[in-house]
Structure 1
Amino acid sequence: MTRRVFRYVPFTIVQDQTAEPEYEARCVSGEESECGARSGTYSAPGPVEEWQRQHTQETGHRRYRRDFGDYAVLCPSSEPVAPPELVARVRPAGREP
């Protein structure tokens, strides 16, 4: 019989800086069915927000489903953080590194 010992290793979750985040919106306005118009996918929220404003001006629709996606890296807390080019730590708003 083989004996195994498992130890808990705490991890820090950080955003992977080698992959761009993705922002997108879909119009869900409509009485019986959703409009379904989509903004397309962008690496920043600005173009998606501008698309929403234009779509609202053109159609009067005001309800949107927004999606954000990114990639995360888990680094064992007992080890140095992964190389800076791979990750960025999340800091509280208003705090400088």
Structure 2
Amino acid sequence: MTRALYRFVEYKAVQDPTGELSWSAVCVSGDEADCGESSGEMDEEKAVRWMAEHTRDTGHTRFRRTFGDYAIITPKE
């Protein structure tokens, strides 16, 4: 009879320092329905600029922002 030895390892996700970060924004202003105009993925500075320019051009001031990064899974210590 053979015996099995199980070793359970807990993991955590950490941000990959070599990965590029990205942001996007979608305009959710509107009376009857959301505007829906989207910035697409870009760096943080460009995303903020896009929101400011959209507000200037439309008067819309409410956005849904999304942040993206890359993660590395490593064992917990």
Same fold at TM > 0.5: yes
Secondary structure in 1 matching 2:9:
coil
Cα distance between partner residues in 1 of 2:2 and 2:28: 56
Task: Quote the residue 2:20 is aligned against.
Answer: 20
Would you identify which runs of 4 or more consecutive aligned residues in structure 1 move more than 6 Å?
Answer: none
AA matched with 1:17: P
TM-align CA RMSD: 2.0
Unaligned runs of 5+ in 2: none
Higher relative contact order (CA 8 A, sep 6+): 2
Cα distance between partner residues in 2 of 1:25 and 1:12: 28
Identity %: 45
Task: Quote the residue 1:69 is aligned against.
Answer: 68
Structure 1 pair 30–4 and aligned structure 2 pair: CA distance change class (3 A): farther
Higher helix share: 2
Cα distance between partner residues in 1 of 2:7 and 2:50: 49
TM-score, normalising length: structure 2 = 0.81
AA matched with 1:13: A
TM-score, normalising length: structure 1 = 0.66
Task: Quote the residue 2:37 is aligned against.
Answer: 37
